[in-house]
Every structure is written in structure tokens, then in C-alpha cells.
Amino acid sequence: MLKKKNRYVVAVVGATGAVGNEMIDTLAQRNFPIEKIRLFASERSEGKTLEFEGSEMPVETLNNDSFKGIDIALFSAGAERSKIWAPVAAQSGCVVVDNSSQWRMDPGVPLVVPEVNPHDLKWHKGIIANPNCSTIQMVVVLKPIHDAARIKRVVVTTFQAVSGTGKKAMDELLQQTTDLLNSREVKCNVYPHQIAFNCLPHIDKFLDNGYTKEEMKMVQETKKIMGDDSIRVTATTVRVPVFRSHSESVNIETEKKLSANEARAILSTAPGVIVYDAPDKNLYPLAIDAAGKDETFVGRIREDESIENGLNLWVVSDNLRKGAALNAVQIAEKLIEMA
């Protein structure tokens, strides 16, 4: 449990990565009450320093004593590191907010989006899981609709940015694009196929049921966060040649009828959501506009005329911010509020 203090010792594990870097920026921008920041990465980063609020901070490697004296640790160094080190950190009395998929579906670990299920923070035992990026932006929009009209089924297709995979994938999209525009041969290292000027219906690994792990995360995590196993979800997740922000086409079937205008009104007062929906002026959420922003943008709000009670939405958010770093920092802020 987090003890009430004026300022906290905060660790970022995976500090040199795409998400870690965003965590450091987010902590600074939100004036998080930091006594001291500790930055961790792999042996590859030994000797490096990273700037935090004007000071150069050393990047450290992890050992069994690393978490002594640390109050809050934000993890984004991959599932294998979280599996080993999150319990070590929790044992040291530190509260872990873990960005990896390692602990999300563990029944003893809360999976939290502060706008949706902040109450689940009450039962944590030292580790709190941050949901998958595609799931987070979807549930902040689903929750107010569920409260108003009870969602029966969701059909979602995602258009996901390469930054979700990390720094190397961003480099690969840039390199392939430059090579193609200069008539050079394209090399694929991160993805099995060319991502520049292409769409890959493949995010994370394939499972026995023919779905990808990313698709099944959206199915399972949505039920856990919303606290309702009866919501049926099916997903197709697609990687697109975009650097930042995931876009999603979300089709929703509800028990109670909601008109497009009612849905627009409900969403316009939802926390963390901005309705951006003026098709007559060509205004709808775009990945490039959402990049660097905190909110989840929703537009193209219309009734699904093929069923009784259906809605179609277009949902866009910055995957490194609300999809990862910001949600983790908001969880830490809520823990402080509750301490």
C-alpha cells in the first residue's frame, strides 16, 4: 500500500524505450510530486544518462536491491522483465504500475483505466496492470455508453501505429519509407512484411484460435476492466504505416436504443473523451491530430442501420500517452489521492 507523503521516490523501468521516454515526459508535464526519480534499463544502456527536469540522471541496471526506498515503479520493459522484477519490487514495499501484458489477466491483479474502474485500485497487492493501448482508448468510450444503454456486443477493427511495438519499429517504418522513395531495396527486421505503404493484419503473435494475441487482449481486457463478462467483443487488429496514435472503427450493439445524438451528448460529457464530429466540415478524429494529446477523440458517430440498437464510432488516441504512459501516471496519481 502506498503511504501518504508530500513527495515520492519514483522509478521508471524501461526508461530508454518509447513508452519509458513518454513516462518521463508525462511525469514532468503533470508536475508529479517527485522526491527523486530513478531510471532503469538493460545492460545495453549502462553509462547513459537521461534528462529529467533539467538534471542528467544515470540509467541503472536492475538488481535485487534496486527497489529499496522506491515508492512507485512504472514498468515498461517487456513482459519477461515484469514477470521477474515486478514481484521483487512489490516485495520491497514498492507499488508497481506495470505496462506489460504479464499481469493483466491475473485474477489477483487489478487492471485499471482511471475513468472506468478506479475502484479496482482498492484491492491491489503491490502490482497494478496497465491495459493494452487499443483496449484503453476503446473502454473510455464504451463505459459511458454501457452505463446509459448496456452494451451487448462490440465489433472492433484497429489501425495501429508502429510506436506500439517500440523504438525499433519506428526506425523501421522511417527507413523503409526512405529506401522505397529512393528506389532502394527494403529490409524487414521488426515485422514479417514491409510496413511502409502497407497494412498488416497481424499484431503480436498468432494463437491457436486463429486470432492474434492483440485481438484476444481486446476481448478479455475489456470484460475485466468493465467488470462485465457478458459483453461480447470480437476484434481485428491491423498495423498501419502511422508513427503515433491508434485509430479504431468500433461497432456497438446495445440493449437500449441510443440515437446518434444521444450518444454524442453522452460522450461529450465523458471524462477523458473529446467528441470531434462535424463531417460537414470534414472534421473527424485523425491520428496526426491526436498525437501528443491526452484525450481520446471520437467522431463519425452514427446509427448502425443494419440492426435495431447499434452505433458506429471512430475512436483515436495517442497510443504512447493514454495508451501507455499517461494511463500509468494517472493510476499513480489516483493511488496518491487514495493514500
The catalytic residues are 133, 246
What residues contact residue 27 under an 8 Å CB cut-off, 6+ apart? 10, 12, 34, 37, 52, 329
Question: What is the per-residue binding string for ligand 12T in 73-112, x denoting contact by CB under 6 A?
Answer: ---------------------------xx-----------
Smallest distance from ligand NAP to CB 164, Å: 5
Cα(195)–Cα(188) distance, rounded to whole angstroms? 8
Residue 167 interface partner, choices ligand NAP, ligand 12T, none, CB cut-off 5-8 Å depending on type: ligand NAP
Neighbours of 283 (CB within 10 A): 12
204 binds ligand 12T (CB under 6 A): yes
Contact criterion met (CB below 8 Å) for 214 and 132: yes
45 binds ligand NAP (CB under 6 A): yes
Beta-strand pair 127-129/95-98: parallel
Residue 18 interface partner, choices ligand 12T, ligand NAP, none, CB cut-off 5-8 Å depending on type: ligand NAP
Binding residue for ligand 12T (CB under 6 A) from 164, 285, 299, 310?
Answer: 164
Residues in the chain: 339
What residues contact residue 2 under an 8 Å CB cut-off, 6+ apart? 8, 71, 72, 95, 335, 336, 338, 339
16 binds ligand 12T (CB under 6 A): no
Smallest distance from ligand 12T to CB 203, Å: 5
330 binds ligand 12T (CB under 6 A): no
Cα(4)–Cα(79) distance, rounded to whole angstroms? 29
- Within 159-178, the residues that bind ligand NAP by CB under 6 A are 164, 166-167
160 binds ligand 12T (CB under 6 A): yes
- The H-assigned helical ranges of 126-254 are 133-149, 167-181, 213-226
Binding residue for ligand NAP (CB under 6 A) from 2, 11, 16, 146?
Answer: 16
What residues contact residue 65 under an 8 Å CB cut-off, 6+ apart? none
Tell how far CA 73 is from the center of its chain: 17
203 binds ligand 12T (CB under 6 A): yes
Measured from the CB atom, the residue of 204 and 289 that comes closer to ligand 12T is: 204
317 binds ligand NAP (CB under 6 A): no
Question: What is the per-residue binding string for ligand NAP in 120-159, x denoting contact by CB under 6 A?
Answer: ----------x-xx--------------------------
Binding residue for ligand NAP (CB under 6 A) from 28, 34, 79, 105?
Answer: 79
Q: Closest Cα partner for 239 from 150, 292, 176, 165?
A: 165
At position 75, the amino acid (one-letter code) is F
Beta bridge partners, 9, equal 36
Residue numbers of the site for ligand NAP (CB under 6 A)? 14-20, 40-42, 44-45, 62, 76-79, 81, 99-100, 130, 132-133, 164, 166-167, 323-324
